[in-house]
Structures are given as structure tokens and as C-alpha cells.
Structure 1
Amino acid sequence: MTKSLSVLSLNCWGLYIVSKQRQFRLRAIAHAIDEGDYDVIALQEVWMLQDYEYIKQTVSPKIKYAEYFYSGALGSGLAIFSRYPILSSNFTRFTLAGRPLRVLEGDYYVGKGCASVCVRVPEIGLVDVYTTHLQAAYGDKDDYEAQRITECWQIANAVRASVAQNRHVILTGDFNSIPSSLCYKIIELHGLMTDSWMQLHEDTLKDAQARFERHELSASECIQYFGITCDSPLNTWTKRVLKQHPFAEDIGDRLDYIFYSASPHLQCIQSKVVMEGYIPNTQWSFSDHFAVHSLFTINSTNQDHSPFNTDQDHTLPNYTRLMPSTFHDILDVIQFDITRSARSSKRLLILLGFCLIAVLALFIVQVVLSSTYSTADKTNFIISSIIIYLLIFLLSVVGTIALIVGFVFGKTEQRSLMQYTRDISNCLRHVET
């Protein structure tokens, strides 16, 4: 008996105040989802609880089960909706995501991570559904590649653990990484995941690229031929302001994915970009990203429903399909970031030292002034004292921030990166032996 499993993933761009027309768009997204035929919906950047509640209420006649994931000071922005009962849920916060001094980016404070639910699909058993939103690059210079690599390493280990428990896996989200990136390779080759869109379109990519170079494809056709989900010139939000520099300026990038653990029981038969048009009766896109929809066949048999034979080598903890050269590239990126972090910490600690010396000097100046000014100069003394104490206060604030960010965060970041270096090096050692 063959049935299907329909999965949708969308970054909703639901930031409070920052996102344009947030409430209107999120409600339009809710109604678009309700009009579709989906079994599992994974949403990212649903930052406002009221937006989640509206979506949940709108889709509840068809999709009764939902989970919203709380993390950090402002939340994770992740939500999963399921037609099947949710047996359990879990949230794994990323060890590294953002930096505290980059307040406007906000990633350090929102608590980025990977959310998952376990559902039971009657025909194939337990399915772990994951969704995530990785660290963005921001601007032309990507300062966060090492952080995204560590995030993908965490995700890869999580999905491997699910497969080791004889569960099927569906991994969705905004990975802020193109298919040629190291992050993508970690998910595919170490997490042992199959890219559902690429699985069905890989054979046509070369021809599509040739047609694009001959200027035979429109921007609209490029969305489907290349799976473009972000920075498309047809998106009304990203064509004005780009959060990060697109790799393919003319057509946009593929940053959103639906991966899965391919098996005889679960196979993708359709994958496409959806919600790429405008909200009905408007000239606005639903979000600054387009959605991805994948349809899977569920092949029920009387045999074991586990995605893999647990006796096979690829269930071993040290098994990986990553090549040694890729490992070395990954380690080079992380090592570079360790050096950058140490250099940044050193600058902040030097600033702390300067603040301490300046505060001490100002106290000495205050003492000297108190003994120098005569009674007749009381007004000047008060004004001087106010200025000095204000400077002491400002220097104390700057010094405290430099101490916390330079020492506490800096050392934490460096040691976390060093630990990932050890973990990845251990895996590399088994590959090379």
C-alpha cells in the first residue's frame, strides 16, 4: 500500500517592527498553508507568539498538532505543525550563534538552535521532524562560516542519532548556505541526509545552467530550475534590501532545504519552490524567502520500517562520507575563526586595561582638584566633579562590557571552537586510517 507525506518549509520573516507588513503577511501565510494539502509544516522566524497562535488556529481544522519552541531572550522563531500526533519534542540550542556586540543582528540573543518533534506515521513508524535556522552571513564578508559549520555539525550528529534509533528523519529549514558550501556537505555527507529537491532536479541543472548563460531563462523560470528561495529579484522584500550578499546576483540563492533519510519506505517524488508569487490582491511577497514543498511516497510493508539496516557500517559513530580534503577545509575555517576570536578578545582586554588606568587617573585628578580649588571656586569644582564622575561611569560601563565580551564570551567561543576541532579531528583520524 502506498501513501504520501507532504512537507512544507518556510522562513516567514516575522521579526517584530523590523519586518515589513509582518502581521498582514503572517496571516496571509496562515491562510495559504490552510488552503494547501500538507502533513508537516516547518516554519522559521515566527518570532511573535501571537503570529504562531494565529497560524495554529487557522490550520487547526486540518492540522491539529503543533509545537512552538522557546529559547534565548527572544525565542527561537521555530514552529512545527503536524497532521500526525506529536509524541515528543526537543530543542537543541547551538553552542555558537552570533556575537554579543552585534546587537542589531540579534542572533546572539534570540537563542538559535535546532527544533524537532517525533511523530508516528502509521505506515512507516516513527519519524523525527527537524527544523532549524542557521546563522546568517550579513554583508559581503562572511564572518560566521565557522559558526554555521559548528551548527551543522550539531545537527548532523542529532539526525544520525535519530537514524540510529531506527527512525525516519526529515530535516527542514533555512540553512543560509548554498549547495556547494561546507555546511551543505556536512549535512549531506556526515548527517547522511538526502536533499529532496536536488535528488529530483540534479539531472536537469546542467542544461538549465547552459540555458541561463544563453539568457533563455527568465527570473521566474530560474526559481524552479535552480530552486531559488532567497534574494530573488522577483521577491518584493529582498530586491530592495539584502541581508547578505547573494552568491548569484542575477537569480538569487537556494538557502532553504528539505533533507530526509532516504529508504525504500520513504522516497521523494516531487519537490518544488512554492509561495513564490504575491499575496492575493497585493504586490507583496509572502516573505523574504520562498517556501519549499516536497512530497514523499510512503511504502508500507510487513517488514521492519527502520530506514536502514542497523547492522550496516554507516550506523557506527565514526562512519562518514566526508572526504579528508573536506575535513581539512572545515578545520582550516574553524582554526581561522579561533585566531580571529583570540585577536578580538585581546583587543577588548587591552581596552579593559585602558579603562582601568583611565578610571584610576580620573580618581587621582578628582583628589587633586578637591585640594586645589579654593572655596571661591566651588562652582567650578562641582562642574569638574560632575564631568569626572560621568567619565568614570562611562569608562566603567565600557570596561565591564569589554571584560564580559572579551574574556567570558571570547574564551567561551574559543574553547567551543577548539572542542569542535577535536571532535572533527577525531572523525578525520578514522577516515585516514
Structure 2
Amino acid sequence: MELNVVTLNCWGLPFGISKHKGERMQHIAKELATGAYDVVSLQEIWVLKDYELIKSTVKNVLPYSFYFRMGLQNGGLCMFSKWPIVDTFYHLYSLNGYAHQVFMGDWYTGKMVALCKIDVEGMAVNVYNTHAHALYVPSNIPEKDDFLTHRLTQLYELSEFVRLTSGGSDLVLVMGDFNSEPFSLATKLALSNAGLLDSWETRGNKEYTDGMTIERLDNILAKGQTHCYMNTNDGERIDYNFYQSYGPYTARCLKTTLTMRKIPGSDLSYSDHEGVLSTIRVTRLKDSQGQGDEKSNEDDDGSPHQQLPELLKEAISVLSKNIEKVKSDQMWSRLKALFCFFLLLLSVSLGDVSPVLAFIWTCGLTLITAFYFCFGFIVEECEKKTVTGIMESMKVRLSAVEKRIRVNGK
């Protein structure tokens, strides 16, 4: 059996933020209705009406769908399938930006990993869809990435969610906008910990080399955005189709290509991202029990997950340094709150000089004091404890992996 699976970040922000959204959503729906796709994972479908438009348009070829409505903007994730969706679940990421960074907006959008269990003619397929925290600098300069820790913890949580919910499945598909490049620690850890294969790296059509999905200068919608790579047309690869098979099944990626690029007869692109289309061939092994050829996340088959101990150690080191940074930031936030509070007391004496000036002074300093107080005593405290908890979870996972290596010799 061959499955054509596609992922696309649709850039569907409302209020005119995303250019040509209405027109593009109609064309996205029209393209998905061609019948060329079997399983579809979409991100940034922020508006329910856009989902309903696509759903009504593709109902004859993709009759099964689910929209995950979480966060202020519904999470933006939805899936469509040729086969019945028999179960759904999701996990909201523990860290996802900050509320005061309104123009970035990640905190408000309910970033998550979503799961749809699909019955593909008796084969149990787990399809995961995700959209990680936005990438504002290239992955190769992590020291300038203020949200490296958030993205790292998100993709670790993704890998744990996949690993712990994929039991009993015959095929796993993990699709979406990871906002991390292939060589980044976050992406490598996600692949390794969940024991997944990258459809781009394992594709049969190696002659096809155009795989960059974002920040492309040939994408008209990306030209008005801030580019990480201003002097190249290559862009970044941050959208993926990962996969793995289990039990009596084996999966192989026949080909992976970019899709849904420019709208036919127009210079307008479907989105500021390129779609990623993979053809996965799934074969049932002759041995129905799958004893001889069964695949496992723990097999010594040369897959990236063999690097897991070192990747976990590196991730633990990154999180440990971040905890120290958060502690330092927390101390300064508290000191700033205390300093602003003392300045606020001066407004009492200013009242005798100018009531208007005293009012402005009091209101401004009250807001600033409240901000630093909340950040120092609530926000950063929550982040510190969350990162610490995830780091401790990584240590448990590392201990278990190292023990398996000692016992099994691999």
C-alpha cells in the first residue's frame, strides 16, 4: 500500500495580517480536493471558517477530518484523511513564548502536538501534527535564539508524546512545522528519542534536491517577511514528514518533493511555506508475527536515534544553563520591581507639586512595577520549574537508555 501524505503551514492569520488569505484558502481547498493526497496535516488554520471551507470542499476525497480548538487562536492544527479517524488526542506544550510579546503571538496560539488515530484498511496509523514556537533566527546561531529552550522542550515533549502513545500502532506519521532545521539539537533529539525516520533523508528520489520550505526568495509571500538568509535562494527546511513502522509492517519512503507552491496560472504562492509531499510504501511482512524483521525504536539499525545518549546529555546541559539564566533574570526582575516600587512612593510627594504629573507618574510606575513583579515572581518562577521538570525527565530517560546499552551492548 502507498500513502501520499502532505504537510503545509497555511499562514492563515486573520485581520488582514496574512496576505491574500481568503483567495489562498480557496485554492488550498481546491488543490486538496483533487484526490492526490491521502493524509493531510495543516498548520496555521487559525480561523474556523477556513477549516470549514476546506472540509466542505474536500469531503468527497477526504471525508474524515478533525480540527483541534485550543488556545486563543484554536491552535491552528487540523487533519484530513481518506480513511476513518477513530480517535484523537493532543498535548499542549509547557513552554511557548511570553504573553507580553504580543507581536510574536506564540503564547496566545496554543502550540501543541495533535494526534489522530486512523484505521487504514485494518492497519493502525497514528498521525501526529505539530507547530513549534516560531524561529526568528537561523538554527546555526543558537546563541541569538531567545526561544531555543522553548523549542527544545517542545520537540522533546513531542518525541515523548509520540513514543508513549504509539504503542499498538503499525505506522507512525509525524508531520508539521517544527521551526527547527535538521541539524539543530531540537530536531535531532525529536527524531532520535521517538525513533523516527526523516522522509527527506530516506527518500528514493535522491535526484530531487529542492527541499527548502521557508524563507525562499522565489516565494512572493515570503518577500515581505524578515529573512534569515538574505543572500541565498535556498532558505530553510523546517517542515517535515517523519515516519516509522512497527510489528508486521515495514515502511519505505519512495519519494519526497515540495508541493502546493505557486497557484496555477498565478505568481501567488499557496502559503509562505512550501508543502511537503511524501509517498510512503507500507508492506506487510511475510512473517505475520514480525519476529524476524520487526522494527523498534531501540534497534541498532544506524538510525539517528542511536545518538540518543549524547543528544540527551547535550539537551540537559542546555537546559541546565537556561535554568541558571532564568534564576539570574528572575533576581533582576525582582530588584527592578522593588526599585520601581520605591520610585512609586515618590508620587505621594509629587502630588503637592502637580496632581497631573503625579497621576501620570503613578499610573506608569504602577504598570511597570506590576510587570516586573509578575515576571519575577510568577512567569520566570513557572519557567524555572517547568524547565527543571523537563530536564529531570530527560535524566530519567538517559538513565534508562544507558542501562539498556550496558545490558544489551547496544
| TM-score, structure 1 normalization | 0.83
> 8 Å contact 2:189–2:312 — kept in the other structure?
no
Larger Rg: 1
Whether the aligned pair in 1 keeps the contact of 2:46 and 2:73 (CA below 8 Å) is yes
Q: CA deviation at 1:63?
A: 1.0
| Segment drifting more, 58-67 vs 162-171 | 162-171
Aligned residue for 2:202, secondary structure, equals helix
Aligned pair in 2 of structure 1 residues 409, 247: CA closer, same or farther (>3 Å)? farther
Mapping of residues 300-311 of structure 1, within 5 Å: 300=284, 303-304=288-289, 309=294
Matches within 5 A, 1:38-53: 38-53=37-52
Q: Secondary structure at the match of 1:63?
A: coil
Q: Does the CA-based 8 Å contact 2:204-2:253 persist in structure 1?
A: no
Show the counterpart of 1:427. Answer: 397
Aligned to 2:363: 393
Of 176, 185, 189, which residue of structure 1 is paired with 2:188?
185
Secondary structure of 1:257's partner? strand
What's the secondary structure of 1:50's corresponding residue?
helix
Question: Partners in 2 of 1:255 and 1:312 — Cα distance?
Answer: 23
Other-structure match for 1:230: 214
Q: Show the counterpart of 2:92.
A: 93
Matched, 1:149 2:152: yes
Q: Name the residue aligned to 1:295.
A: 279
Name the aligned partner's letter for residue 359 of structure 1: L
Deviations 1:258-284 (A, max 9, x none): 0011353433222111122x2123211
CA distance in 2, matches of 1:84, 1:334: 41
Q: Which has the higher helix share?
A: 1
Confirm whether residue 258 of structure 1 aligns to residue 261 of structure 2.
Answer: no
Tell me whether 396-405 or 62-71 shows the greater mean CA deviation.
396-405
Q: Distance in 1 between matches of 2:61 and 2:363?
A: 58
C-alpha distance in 2 between matches for 1:53 and 1:111: 20
Deviations 1:156-180 (A, max 9, x none): 1111123323442110001111111
Match of 1:360 among 340, 345, 367: 345
Q: Would you say the 8 A contact 1:166–1:307 is kept in 2?
A: no
| Alignment-derived partner of residue 269 in structure 1 | 254
Q: Structure 1 246/325 Cα, relative in aligned 2: closer, same or farther at 3 Å?
A: farther
CA pair 310-253 structure 1, distance change in 2 beyond 3 A: closer
Is the contact made by 1:152 and 1:186 (CA closer than 8 Å) also made in structure 2? yes
Instruction: Tell me how far apart the structure 2 counterparts of residues 51 and 150 of structure 1 sit (CA, whole Å).
Output: 30
Distance 1:289 1:365 in 2: 55
C-alpha distance in 2, partners of 1:421/1:247?
36
| Farther off after superposition, 333-342 or 114-123 | 333-342
Which residue in 2 is equivalent to 1:409? 379
Residue deviations 1:126-178, cap 9 Å, x none?
A: 11111101112214631112111111111111111233234421100011111
Matched, 1:321 2:306: yes
Q: Secondary structure at the match of 1:252?
A: coil
Residues 312 and 18 (structure 1), Cα distance of their counterparts in 2 relative to 1, 3 Å cut: closer
Percent identity (aligned): 28
Contact 1:162 1:169 (8 Å CA) reproduced = no
For 2:331, the equivalent position in structure 1 comes to: 346
Question: Is the 2:195–2:297 contact (alpha carbons within 8 Å) kept by the matching residues of 1?
Answer: no
Given that residues 135 and 180 in structure 2 are in contact (C-alpha distance below 8 angstroms), is that contact kept between their aligned partners in structure 1?
Answer: no
Query: In structure 2, how many angstroms separate the alpha carbons of the residues matched to 1:56 and 1:280?
Result: 21
**Could you tell me how far 1:227 is from its partner in structure 2?**
1.2
Question: Using the alignment, how far apart are the partners of 2:9 and 2:291 within structure 1?
Answer: 30
Rate the CA distance shift 1:166–1:118 in 2: closer, same or farther, 3 A.
closer
* C-alpha distance 335-313 of structure 1, shift in aligned 2 (>3 A): closer
Distance 1:271 1:123, change over 3 A: farther
| 8 Å contact from structure 2 (residues 173, 242) kept in 1 | yes
- Find the aligned partners of 1:61 and 1:165 in 2 and give their Cα distance: 30
Asked whether the 8 Å contact 1:226–1:254 carries over to 2, the reply is no
- 1:351 maps to amino acid: K
Change in 2 beyond 3 A, CA 1:247/1:84: farther
The total of aligned residue pairs comes to 390
Relative to 1, partners in 2 of residues 1:323 and 1:69: Cα closer, same or farther, differing over 3 Å? closer
CA distance in 2, matches of 1:174, 1:312: 23
Residue equivalent to 1:218: none
Sort the Cα spacing of 1:306 and 1:270 in 2 relative to 1 into closer, same or farther, 3 A. Answer: farther
Rounded to whole Å, the distance in 1 between the matches of 2:319 and 2:54 is 39
